[in-house]
Chain A
C-alpha cells in the first residue's frame, strides 16, 4: 500500500460545478498537507497549504484535513475550464522533510 492514495480519475464536470478531490494516507506522522495544480508538461504549482487538521479557504478553493480519518479534500467552487489540470495532493512529516505525493487526479471542466 502506498503512503498516499489518490484516485487518478479522469474526472469530468460541467462548468460551474463544485468539484471534490480527495486523498487518503496511511502515515499518521504527516502534519503538513498541500494541494498542487499541474498543467500538462509543466511543473506543479502550489494551490493550498494546511498544517494539521482543519479547513482553509482561498477564493474558490477550500482545503480540508481530517487527521482522525487520514483524509484530505480540496473543493473547487464555480469550476472554470481554466481549472482543467491534474491536481496533486502532497504531505510531509515536518517542515523540512520531502513531500510525499499522490498520483494526481486529472480534472476536465467542460464549458
Chain B
C-alpha cells in the first residue's frame, strides 16, 4: 500500500527553468492539495482540487499551476522557477464527503532548491 507518492525526492534547479513535481495517490480520494512548507511559516496551500477535472487557488498560487486529469494524479508545475520558490513541497489527499474526519494524508515531500 503506497498511499501518496511524490517525485522527485529532491531537486536543484536553475532559476528560469520549468519544473513539474509529481504526486500520485492510490486511496481513491476525491480531494488533493499542494502545500509549501517554509521555516517559521508552516504549511501554506498553493492549489487544490476537490475532484477530478476541477482545481482552485490556495493562499500562495502565484508562479504555480496544477491540473487534475484523473483521480490519482495531481502534478504541480513551476513555469519559470525563482529562488523564492525554494521550499519543501507536500502533496496531500483526503475524502471530501460530509461524514467522517476527512483528514488529509500527506506524501513524503519534495525538497526543491532554486539557484
A joins B in a complex: no
Instruction: Report A's interface with B, CB cutoff 8 A.
Output: none
What residues of chain B have their CB less than 8 Å away from a CB belonging to chain A?
none
